[in-house]
Amino acid sequence: MVTKAVAKKQDTLPAYMNQGPARGQENVTVDDLSIPRLDVIQALSPQRKKSAPEYIDGAEEGQLFNSVTNTLYGEDVTFVPVYFRKEWLLWRDRDSGGGFGGAYATPQEAAAEARERGQGWEPSETAQHFGLIIGDDGTIEEVVISMSRSKLKASRQLNTLAKMAGGDRFASAYKVSAVEVNGESGDYYNLNVKRTGWVDEDVYAAGETLYNAVSAGSKDVSRDHGDEAEGDDKY
């Protein structure tokens, strides 16, 4: 969901609307709410293949994108980290048919499930960084950056910078950029993080709201089929 960071009229309901508990939301649970992921397009990403359901017109290698809205952000974004969680995602390799087998709180749980499911299933350590993207026009967008494999280096970089900055995790903003890496198995894009400074009051309030929602379990990362791109990311 995208909202104006500084538009107070969007933060307050008009007087003619119900000011009490929101009606129509009674049956919405955490299973019905999700936060899209921010990821980087690689050479073989389905977002570049016209026949794939995930195809995004104009997508190029090295661009950051939203996994739900298909928004292309370019090579960098302003990101405000809000909440960090480590988990182990279970994947089946492509030769065995592929597939996502769930998220687990410990490597032991993931390994046990992998053994029960059989050949081809493998846990992947994944750092989930819940946060906000701040647009050039002042918009605020909730996202999760899922970092596994080589991206775990960027995860440690972000955590270290946030720890050094002090204050709440959502008190500082960072520039998250896609950077090209020359790997042994070919070139690919990884992430780089640089702190840019303190956030303003409106962004800080939005960060606090998201923090409360995620820590309470009322919001989580999108688990839609095909949305966990890390399962297809060999890097």
Distance CA 74, CA 209 (A): 27
pLDDT score of 8 more than 70: no
pLDDT score of 80 more than 50: yes
Range of the domain at 176: 38-84+128-225
Phi, psi of 114 (to 5 degrees): -60, -45
pLDDT at 33: 63
Question: Is 93 inside a domain boundary?
Answer: no
pLDDT tens by residue, 212-231 = 999 998 888 876 644 444 44
The percent of residues above 90 in pLDDT, for the chain, comes to 59
pLDDT score of 143 more than 90: yes
Q: Which of 180, 173, 141 is nearest to 43 (CA)?
A: 180
Residue 188's pLDDT band (boundaries 50, 70, 90)? very high
pLDDT at 108: 94
pLDDT score of 94 more than 80: no
* Overall domain count for the chain: 1
pLDDT tens by residue, 200-212 = 999 999 999 999 9
The percent of residues above 70 in pLDDT, for the chain, comes to 87
Q: Which residue has the tokens 């080589």?
A: 150
Question: Is 26 inside a domain boundary?
Answer: no
Question: Is 60 inside a domain boundary?
Answer: yes
Question: Is 16 inside a domain boundary?
Answer: no
Question: Is 22 inside a domain boundary?
Answer: no
Question: Is 106 inside a domain boundary?
Answer: no
| b/e sequence 159-170, b meaning 16+ C-beta within 10 Å | beebeebeeebb
Distance CA 163, CA 114 (A): 34
Question: Is 94 inside a domain boundary?
Answer: no
Q: What is the DSSP string of 150-172?
A: GGHHHHHHHHHHHHHH-S-GGGE
User: Is the CB of residue 152 less than 8 Å from the CB of residue 125?
Assistant: yes
User: Which segments within 93-136 are labelled E, that is strand?
Assistant: 100-104, 121-134
Question: Is 186 inside a domain boundary?
Answer: yes
User: Is the CB of residue 34 less than 8 Å from the CB of residue 224?
Assistant: yes
pLDDT tens by residue, 100-109 = 888 899 999 9
pLDDT tens by residue, 33-77 = 678 999 999 998 999 999 998 999 999 999 999 988 899 999 999
Residue 87's pLDDT band (boundaries 50, 70, 90)? very high
Average pLDDT over residues 80-93: 93
What integer best gives the mean pLDDT of the chain? Answer: 86
